[in-house]
Amino acid sequence: MWLTGILGMATKYTEVFAAMKYRVKDWRGEMMGGAMHVWEQRYKRPDGTVPWWAKLAAIWFALLACITIFGIGSAVQTSAITSVVRANFGWDPAIVSLRYGIVGYLGWLAEGFWYLRKTSTHYGRGLHSGMYLHLIL
């Protein structure tokens, strides 16, 4: 277990370091980064072009990341939450999962509206509006 933890921390450190090193500014002046940008920025040629295989690797990583969201992140968290709520309160797992899905969807919508309404002062940057919906519901 310790080896898995150390390997995970080393992997995360490397990923964050590369994402910070190769991040770029978009047209609004906001920073963009991540593994997809690392592939593109790291292998950019002096003339500004990017090899086809670097673009393919970036697209492949983004596609696999989208696929794993459904099987790894949300599914495991929802399963853990429903198990705890069922054990402690006796609620039906379908109701807990539905409520969790609705809260997540409302948080996603609130985050989208917050992003559209935010001003150039960047007040509250990094705070997620959807986090507060969990407290209300």
3-state secondary structure 80-131: HHHHHHHHHHCCCHHHHHHHHHHHHHHHHHHHHHHHHHCCCCCCCCCCCCHH
Q: Which of 37-51, 69-83, 97-111 has the lowest mean pLDDT?
A: 69-83
**Residue 135: predicted pLDDT:** 43
**Residue 14: predicted pLDDT:** 86
Q: What pTM was computed for the model?
A: 0.46
CB atoms within 10 A of CB 36: 18
* pLDDT score of 127 more than 50: no
